[in-house]
Amino acid sequence: MDSPGGRYRLDGRIAVVTGGSQGIGLACGRRLAENGCRVILVGRTAHNLDDAKRLLSSEGLQAETAVCDVCDLAAFASLIAGLDKLDILVNNAGGNRPAPFLEVTVDDFDRLIDLNARSVFFGSQAALRKMIQHGAKGSIINMSSQMGHVGLPTRTVYCLAKHAVEGLTKALALEAAPFGIRVNAVAPTFVRTAMTQGYFADPEFANFVDSHIPLGHCATPEDVADAVAFLASDAASSITGTSLRVDGGWTAQ
């Protein structure tokens, strides 16, 4: 029988992490690699991926990289199809353009839905095909948000997209279960990363966030990565179709 720690190990498995060159994606790649996984970091910018690879190498960890825009559905499907096998997909790539509802443009809407929902849907489709093809009892993990559960002013499109991710996670979990493939979401609160640092430069926004997190602090990329690694592992072998909220209690209110 495996030791309790052994159930968290990912030796011999292959994971693809989108948006993997920095922030939450890089933290997820690091944690999966630490647990023995062969990790492929996917991002749009070669030099950012090279920096991420060098950083992990300096920590004694190995990672492969692939330059690909997940919104190019054919290119990402081709990347997945070209792998020897796939055990874990972390749909982490995402972004936001906060704006009051009456100021949201069609371009804003299309870009956010394309990146945060459409790419997740079809990326998962490519991954599921690959996992079924090779008989992998795999795990698809969608990066959602606390805004997949609650609303927030100036983030209507982001909330729309993340609620869609939550719905997709539940429905796809039911279709994937007969193949032994699990589908879950991780829903963080605000995390201080390169993507959010501009928001936190506004003291009013920073105070608003801190006052709405009962634990009194934002999640770290490592907090989110721990949740992802858990859901990827055999320790979560009976968990599918759910959303693990790493939100410090925000949505409990």
What tens digit of pLDDT does each residue of 44-102 get? 999 999 999 999 999 999 999 999 999 999 999 999 999 999 999 999 999 999 999 99
H-assigned helices in 46-92: 46-58, 73-81
SS3 of the chain: helix, strand, coil, percent, to 5: 50, 15, 35
From 137, 162, 170, 199, the catalytic residue: 162
Q: How many CB atoms lie within 10 A of CB 125?
A: 14
Give percent of the chain above pLDDT 90.
Answer: 91
Going through 138-213 in order, the beta strands assigned E by DSSP cover 139-143, 182-188
Q: How confident is the model over 111-124, as a mean pLDDT?
A: 98
Would 51 be classed as within a structural domain? yes
The predicted pLDDT at position 198 comes to 84
Q: Side-chain half-sphere of 197: how many Cα atoms within 13 Å?
A: 3
Would 76 be classed as within a structural domain? yes
The predicted pLDDT at position 1 comes to 41
Active site residue 162: yes
Q: Could you identify the residue written with the tokens 């979990």? A: 173
Burial of 134 (0-12, 13-18, 19+ CB in 10 A): middle
Q: Is the pLDDT of residue 3 over 60?
A: no
The predicted pLDDT at position 5 comes to 65
pLDDT in tens, 138-184: 999 999 999 999 999 999 999 999 999 999 999 999 999 999 999 99
Would 248 be classed as within a structural domain? no
Would 144 be classed as within a structural domain? yes
Would 42 be classed as within a structural domain? yes
Taking Cα atoms as reference points, which of 246, 217, 216 lies closest to residue 231? 246
Q: Side-chain half-sphere of 18: how many Cα atoms within 13 Å?
A: 29
Cβ atoms 28, 50 nearer than 8 A: no
Cβ atoms 87, 136 nearer than 8 A: yes
The torsion angles phi and psi of 144, rounded to 5 degrees, stand at -95, -140
Domain count, the chain: 1
Would 199 be classed as within a structural domain? yes
* Separation of CA 238 from chain center: 20
Considering only CA atoms, give the Rg of the chain: 17
Q: Which structural domain range is residue 154 located in?
A: 5-243
Residue type for position 53? K
Give percent of the chain above pLDDT 70.
Answer: 98
pLDDT band per the 50, 70, 90 thresholds, residue 4: low
Mean pLDDT of the chain: 96
Q: Is the pLDDT of residue 2 over 90?
A: no
Q: Domain of 49: which CATH number?
A: 3.40.50.720
In whole angstroms, give the CA distance from residue 119 to residue 42.
13
Task: Give the residue, 200 or 80, on which the prediction is more confident.
Answer: 80
From 8, 53, 130, 158, the catalytic residue: 158
Taking Cα atoms as reference points, which of 95, 52, 51, 48 lies closest to residue 70? 95
Active site residue 199: no
Would 250 be classed as within a structural domain? no
